[in-house]
Structures are given as structure tokens and as C-alpha cells.
Amino acid sequence: DAMVIQNPRYQVTQFGKPVTLSCSQTLNHNVMYWYQQKSSQAPKLLFHYYDKDFNNEADTPDNFQSRRPNTSFCFLDIRSPGLGDAAMYLCATSRGGTGGSEQYFGPGTRLTVT
Amino acid sequence: QKEVEQNSGPLSVPEGAIASLNCTYSDRGSQSFFWYRQYSGKSPELIMSIYSNGDKEDGRFTAQLNKASQYVSLLIRDSQPSDSATYLCAVNEEYGNKLVFGAGTILRVKS
């Protein structure tokens, strides 16, 4: 089955210790997204790639970076995690373009910062 | 500021009843509208998409869209305890490939 995969599902890191979350997709979608979701809140878009074009949200902290080395993979790097970065991180994909705005989410990575 | 508004709930309905979830949006240029279901601790799951005014039915789910009123709704017929979840309304931005999400409505179906 075509799908969006995220690893790890649970990540514990120490305050200030860099962490990388990964996402892969077998849907061959053009667009990949990273969201942060905290309890009882809507998913908050951090950035997205349309193919290799990177689009950063204006309010995404510099502490968050992303890489998309190929169509299938996308990474979220948190350079110096703070306690406020503890959240669920969601990767999503879409075909993009006209009529291609349906987004499909991976299972998420729950990040704990100690 | 593009916004999607939902009543946070919780909306409590008895098993077998119809649950009605509502959403309003601010961007008149939006063309695509989605409902996601999110169980506690899980990721959002796409359950309905609608693009034209009127109703769209899929099994027990019916999505309704009224672009003139900037209003989207989701009806769940014969509600089951397994339908208990948070339902997120999402609307595409007129330009680009982004969705704006509402904060979600918590639905509780009591057996």
C-alpha cells in the first residue's frame, strides 16, 4: 500500500541536543509538509517542499530546518530543542497543483524534550 | 489572516444519532475543503473532501458545502462509539499548496 512513513515514532532528546526526524513516502507526491501539533491545537505548518522548492512559514523558528534529498524522503532537523518544542511532528504529502490539495499524513513522531 | 473556525465542543451524541459538525472559513478564494478525523495520540486521517456546492455522501458521512455562506459541515449518521474523535476542518488557500486547519471539534458518542 502506498503510504507515508515516519521514523522514529517516539523520540526523547535532551534540552539543546540536536535531533532529526525522518519522513518517507511511496505515493510519489510532489509536495511534502512538516507540521507541529501540540495538545488540543490545530496542526501548525512549519514548512513544505514542492519538489525541490523550499517554502518556509514566516513564524517558523530558525531552530527548525528541513532537507529533501529526493522525492521520497524529507527530514526535519531541530538544532537545539527547547522544552517548548515537545510536540507531535507530522509529515504529510500531496500531489500539489490544481485539484491536488488533499494531504495525507504519516503516523507522526512524538518528541519529548527532557 | 486566513481563518477556519470550528466549535471546540465537546459535542456529545447518543449512539445511533446524527452528529453534525460545522466549520466556517474566511478565504473566499478557497476551492477545496476537507474533513479529517484524529483519534487521541494519532495523526489526522482524511475522511471527506468536497469541492462543489451541495452535498457529498460517502457511507455514513455526508459533507455539505455552501461557498456563498463560507460554510462547510459534516454529518455522521448512525453515530458509533468508534466515531469518538476530534474532527478537523481544513480549507485550501487560494494560491499555493497549503491547507488552513481549524482547531477541531471533539465528538463523543455515548453508548
Q: What mean pLDDT is predicted for residues A4-13?
A: 98
- Residue of chain A minimizing CA distance to B44: A105
For residue A73, pLDDT over 90 is answered with yes
pLDDT computed for residue B93 by the predictor: 86
Report the run of H or E that residue B1 belongs to, with start and end.
none
Cell of B109: 458518542
Interface test with B, best of A90, A103, A104, A111 (most B CBs within 10 A): A103
Counting residues of chain B whose pLDDT is more than 90, the rounded percentage is 89
Taking the C-alpha atoms of residue B80 and residue A85, their distance in angstroms, rounded to an integer, is: 35
- Digit-coded pLDDT (tens) for A11-60: 999 999 999 999 999 999 999 999 999 999 999 999 999 999 999 999 99
Cell of B92: 485550501
Looking at the partner chain, which of A43, A88, A97 has a beta carbon nearest the beta carbon of B101?
A: A43
Interface of B with A in 37-76 (CB under 8 A): 41-46, 49, 51
Instruction: Give B111's strand partners.
Output: none
pLDDT computed for residue A5 by the predictor: 98
| Helix-then-strand count for chain A, H and E | 0, 11
Q: Which amino acid, residue B3?
A: E
CB A38 within 8 A of CB A54: no
Q: Which amino acid, residue B40?
A: S
For residue B54, pLDDT over 90 is answered with yes
Taking the C-alpha atoms of residue A6 and residue A33, their distance in angstroms, rounded to an integer, is: 12
**Mean pLDDT score across all residues of chain B:** 95
pLDDT computed for residue B79 by the predictor: 98
Residues 6 or more apart whose CB falls under 8 angstroms from that of A29 comprise A93, A94, A95, A96, A104
pLDDT computed for residue A15 by the predictor: 97
Give the pLDDT band (50/70/90) at residue B2. Answer: confident
In eight-state DSSP terms, residue A63 is: T
- Digit-coded pLDDT (tens) for B10-51: 999 999 999 999 999 999 989 999 999 999 999 999 999 999
pLDDT computed for residue A101 by the predictor: 84
Interface test with B, best of A101, A104, A112 (most B CBs within 10 A): A101
Least confident stretch, A24-38, B46-60, B87-101: B87-101
pLDDT computed for residue B25 by the predictor: 96
For residue A108, pLDDT over 80 is answered with yes
Residues 6 or more apart whose CB falls under 8 angstroms from that of A70 comprise none
Taking the C-alpha atoms of residue B9 and residue B19, their distance in angstroms, rounded to an integer, is: 12
- Residue of chain A minimizing CA distance to B92: A101
pLDDT computed for residue A97 by the predictor: 82
Looking at the partner chain, which of B32, B42, B44 has a beta carbon nearest the beta carbon of A43?
A: B44
Q: What mean pLDDT is predicted for residues B54-69?
A: 97
